[in-house]
């Protein structure tokens, strides 16, 4: 997601990642368990120039006001310190030394926090007008009781709203019924979510995919006729009336359940297939895209004339200013400019910003707190995501004035999967610390140690002891596992669980590498030919039972930690993707070791060449 082209390639891959049917063994675990239960740390001189220091000097100077006046009148503006009386001079020097020692300490302290340096204006922090947290429900919806704790938490940290991406978790009805996942929210659930958001004074912006990323619908045989390309469910064909009827129904059903919203997000990112079907081939890409936006906006405005409409900006990056002006797209939608990698301008260059400012009266930005640095991660780097958000603040500060109405706000996105077919990436509860850093930064326009209390309080962390080291150390502890290990924010057991997973995973990977690759008695060759030594095999598998039971116990802990956050399906899926593969590998090693140890007589060398190898041998000219 951090790289558009990269994702383009990856998306094609991801299609194959369909999930295997969970084995009876796995469901045994899951269901059986139901019963047991610094922006200004750059240089010292800048800090010495700060107001407080100036105050010290000013106070001292005030004492010698007579001398100064005399000097001033005789010597214009040149105030020479040597001409101040000794007492005052000493006073200044002592205070200055004390001050600068303290400043040095402060700077060192701030540097230890490891907050990525972004050149923000310390005197005039840019604070986005609105701060929206994105909730990606895509196939892994948190239970309502978790959202009930989550909304007040983000409100406390300065969020003003939520962007709800339902995908297949919305209770569609009528001819769209089959699009909904079987564990989708119910109508009552949606009402409850909206009322909970309202109690926390959070605005709600629903997101409906209307062009690309409609694989959750077009994957079904009954909606395949809407595809742009018949063998890909990713994008719909914008040129057919049936597509517009389909979108009308999607939008009307979602809007009917969101009667009070002021904004609707219509997606439109990453439309990888465009202009490929017989109807679309005749039209140029730019026009296809702009025309479709107009069609979707018209659909929304028939029933909801005053709603404001947001689109992701990536498809607009390549469209010319003139085409956008001709299509009057600035009067139809507000772009949400997304970049989740650290370097914003690398993806949206100044020329693109100029174009946007010429076309649109306002725009939004989107950073990320999770789901941007790898499809199979389970914990986000809080440091990298904070840097992304801080750099957005810098970018917004610079670009805001170019837009007639300024910028409308920032959305801090939290992706749950890279697309409908991808496996789960970082889960929401594991990413709360990362969200806290980015959200507090967006709310204050900076992040430094002056936000320590707010940060620790929001995450329900125990009072740090007086002599304690810095409250965060993002360089050495980018996931915050160490510093936040005792906090009790909603979902903290899942956050801690990821640390346990990481430790056991490191051990398991090392074990697998040593046993199957580094050592010479249990490699694939040994197993294929039943050719090994019982004593060696015994030695190599000594740690196996401990590791196996460690994984089983982690799976159990997962069920406990996630029980009040996700439904059984999401919990099973996560265990199957993160823990189960190790159990399978361990089981295979166990099986192989039993066979290898049971052999008591071996054939003479050379061992017969396996048929597959024989074929290869012939084709490479080995006879």
Ligand X SMILES: *[C@@H]1O[C@H](CO)[C@@H](O)[C@H](O)[C@H]1NC(C)=O
Rule CB under 6 A: say whether 110 interacts with ligand X.
Answer: yes
Q: Are 378 and 469 in contact (CB under 8 A)?
A: no
- CA dist., res. 359 & res. 89, Å (int): 59
Rounded (5°) CA angle 594-599-603: 145
Give the residue with the Cβ less far from ligand X, 141 or 414.
Answer: 141
Q: SS3 for 48-104, per residue?
A: HCCHHHHHHHHHHHHHCHHHHHHHHHHHCCCCCHHHCCHHHHHHHHHHHHHHHHHHH
CB under 6 A: which stretch of 192-200, 286-294, 301-309, 441-449 binds ligand X?
441-449
434 burial (CB, 10 Å; 0-12 / 13-18 / 19+) is buried
CB under 6 A: which stretch of 70-78, 199-207, 406-414, 582-590 binds ligand X?
582-590
**In whole angstroms, how close is the CB of 496 to ligand X at the nearest point?**
22
- CA dist., res. 470 & res. 114, Å (int): 10
Report the residue from 56, 57, 125, 534 that binds ligand X according to the rule CB under 6 A.
Answer: 125
20-39 positions binding ligand X, by CB under 6 A:
31, 34
**In whole angstroms, how close is the CB of 105 to ligand X at the nearest point?**
11
The residue count for binding ligand X (CB under 6 A) is: 24
**In whole angstroms, how close is the CB of 217 to ligand X at the nearest point?**
12
Give the residue with the Cβ less far from ligand X, 6 or 591.
Answer: 591
Rule CB under 6 A: say whether 614 interacts with ligand X.
Answer: no
Give the residue with the Cβ less far from ligand X, 78 or 177.
Answer: 177
Give the residue with the Cβ less far from ligand X, 482 or 587.
Answer: 587
**In whole angstroms, how close is the CB of 266 to ligand X at the nearest point?**
24
Q: Are 303 and 256 in contact (CB under 8 A)?
A: no
**In whole angstroms, how close is the CB of 65 to ligand X at the nearest point?**
29
- CA dist., res. 56 & res. 52, Å (int): 7
Question: By rule CB under 6 A, what string of x and - marks binding of each residue 519-558 to ligand X?
Answer: -----------x----------------------------
What phi and psi, each to the nearest 5 degrees, are found at residue 575?
Answer: -65, -40
449-488 positions binding ligand X, by CB under 6 A:
449-450
Which of the following is catalytic: 215, 270, 387, 573? 270
Rule CB under 6 A: say whether 228 interacts with ligand X.
Answer: no
Rule CB under 6 A: say whether 573 interacts with ligand X.
Answer: no
Name 604's bridge partners: none
Rule CB under 6 A: say whether 595 interacts with ligand X.
Answer: yes
Report the residue from 173, 320, 376, 591 that binds ligand X according to the rule CB under 6 A.
Answer: 591
Rule CB under 6 A: say whether 122 interacts with ligand X.
Answer: yes
- CA dist., res. 514 & res. 542, Å (int): 12
Residue written as token pair 């004339």 = 305
| Alpha-carbon distances, residue 507 vs 189, 232, 396, 408 (angstroms) | 42, 40, 44, 47
CB under 6 A: which stretch of 427-435, 443-451, 491-499, 612-620 binds ligand X?
443-451
- Give SS3 for 569: helix
Rule CB under 6 A: say whether 103 interacts with ligand X.
Answer: no
Rule CB under 6 A: say whether 587 interacts with ligand X.
Answer: yes
55 burial (CB, 10 Å; 0-12 / 13-18 / 19+) is exposed
- Whether 590 is catalytic: no
Give the residue with the Cβ less far from ligand X, 172 or 340.
Answer: 172
Rule CB under 6 A: say whether 73 interacts with ligand X.
Answer: no
295 burial (CB, 10 Å; 0-12 / 13-18 / 19+) is middle
- CA dist., res. 173 & res. 187, Å (int): 10
How many contiguous H segments (helices) and E segments (strands) does the chain have?
A: 24, 10
**In whole angstroms, how close is the CB of 179 to ligand X at the nearest point?**
9
- CA dist., res. 383 & res. 391, Å (int): 12
- CA dist., res. 511 & res. 555, Å (int): 19
Rule CB under 6 A: say whether 610 interacts with ligand X.
Answer: no
Token digits of residue 260: 């009070």
Token digits of residue 96: 């200055």
Report the residue from 177, 182, 612, 623 that binds ligand X according to the rule CB under 6 A.
Answer: 177
Report the residue from 112, 389, 448, 526 that binds ligand X according to the rule CB under 6 A.
Answer: 448
* Residues in touch with ligand X (CB under 6 A): 31, 34, 40, 110, 122, 125, 175, 177-178, 222, 446, 448-450, 530, 567-568, 584, 587-588, 591, 595, 598-599
Active-site residues, by number, are 270
């Amino acid at each position: 997601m951090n790289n558009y082209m990269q994702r383009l390639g990856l998306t094609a891959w991801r299609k194959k990642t369909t999930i295997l049917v969970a084995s009876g063994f796995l469901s045994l675990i899951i269901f059986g368990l139901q019963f047991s239960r610094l922006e200004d740390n750059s240089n010292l001189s800048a800090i010495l120039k700060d107001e407080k220091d100036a105050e010290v000097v000013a106070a001292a100077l005030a004492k010698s006001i007579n001398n100064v006046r005399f000097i001033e009148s005789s010597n214009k503006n040149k105030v020479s310190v040597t001409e101040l009386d000794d007492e005052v001079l000493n006073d200044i020097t002592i205070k200055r030394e004390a001050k600068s020692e303290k400043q040095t300490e402060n700077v060192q302290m701030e540097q230890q926090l490891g907050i990525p340096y972004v050149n923000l204006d310390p005197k005039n922090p840019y604070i986005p007008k609105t701060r929206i947290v994105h909730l990606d429900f895509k196939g892994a919806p948190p239970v309502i009781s978790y959202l009930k704790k989550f909304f007040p938490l983000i409100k406390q940290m300065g969020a003003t709203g939520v962007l709800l991406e339902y995908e297949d978790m919305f209770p569609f009805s009528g001819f769209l019924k089959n699009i909904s996942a079987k564990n989708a929210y119910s109508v009552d659930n949606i009402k409850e979510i909206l009322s909970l958001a309202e109690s926390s004074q959070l605005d709600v912006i629903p997101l409906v995919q209307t062009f690309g990323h409609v694989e959750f619908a077009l994957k079904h045989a009954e909606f395949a006729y809407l595809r742009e390309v018949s063998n890909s469910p990713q994008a719909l064909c914008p040129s057919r009336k049936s597509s517009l009827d389909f979108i009308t129904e999607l939008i009307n059903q979602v809007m009917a359940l969101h009667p009070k919203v002021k904004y609707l997000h219509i997606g439109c990112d990453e439309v990888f297939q465009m202009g490929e079907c017989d109807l679309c081939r005749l039209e140029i890409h730019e026009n296809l895209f702009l025309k479709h936006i107009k069609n979707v906006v018209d659909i929304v405005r028939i029933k909801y004339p005053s709603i404001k409409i947001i689109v992701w900006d990536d498809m607009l990056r390549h469209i010319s200013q003139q085409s956008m002006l001709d299509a009057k797209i600035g009067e139809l939608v507000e772009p949400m400019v997304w970049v989740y990698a650290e370097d914003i301008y690398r993806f949206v260059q100044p020329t693109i910003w100029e174009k946007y400012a010429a076309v649109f009266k306002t725009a939004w930005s989107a950073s990320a707190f999770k789901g941007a640095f790898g499809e199979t991660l389970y914990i986000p780097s809080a440091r990298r995501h904070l840097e992304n958000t801080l750099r957005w603040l810098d970018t917004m500060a610079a670009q805001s004035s170019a837009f007639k109405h300024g910028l409308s706000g920032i959305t801090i996105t939290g992706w749950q999967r890279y697309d409908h077919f991808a496996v789960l990436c970082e889960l929401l509860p594991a990413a709360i610390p990362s969200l806290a850093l980015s959200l507090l930064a967006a709310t204050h326009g900076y992040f430094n140690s002056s936000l320590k209390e707010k940060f620790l309080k929001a995450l329900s962390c125990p009072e740090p002891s007086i002599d304690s080291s810095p409250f965060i150390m993002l360089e050495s502890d980018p996931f915050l596992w160490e510093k936040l290990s005792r906090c009790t924010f909603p979902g903290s057991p899942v956050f801690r669980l990821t640390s346990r997973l990481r430790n056991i995973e490191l051990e398991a990977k090392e074990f697998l590498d040593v046993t199957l690759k580094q050592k010479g008695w249990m490699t694939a060759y040994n197993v294929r030919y039943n050719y090994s030594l019982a004593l060696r095999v015994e030695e190599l598998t000594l740690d196996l039972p401990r590791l196996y039971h460690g994984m089983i116990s982690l799976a159990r802990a997962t069920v406990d930690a996630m029980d009040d956050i996700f439904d059984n399906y999401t919990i099973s899926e996560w265990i199957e993707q993160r823990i189960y593969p190790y159990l399978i590998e361990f089981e295979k090693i166990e099986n192989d070791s039993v066979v290898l140890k049971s052999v008591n007589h071996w054939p003479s060398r050379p061992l017969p060449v396996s048929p597959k190898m024989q074929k290869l041998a012939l084709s490479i000219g080995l006879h």
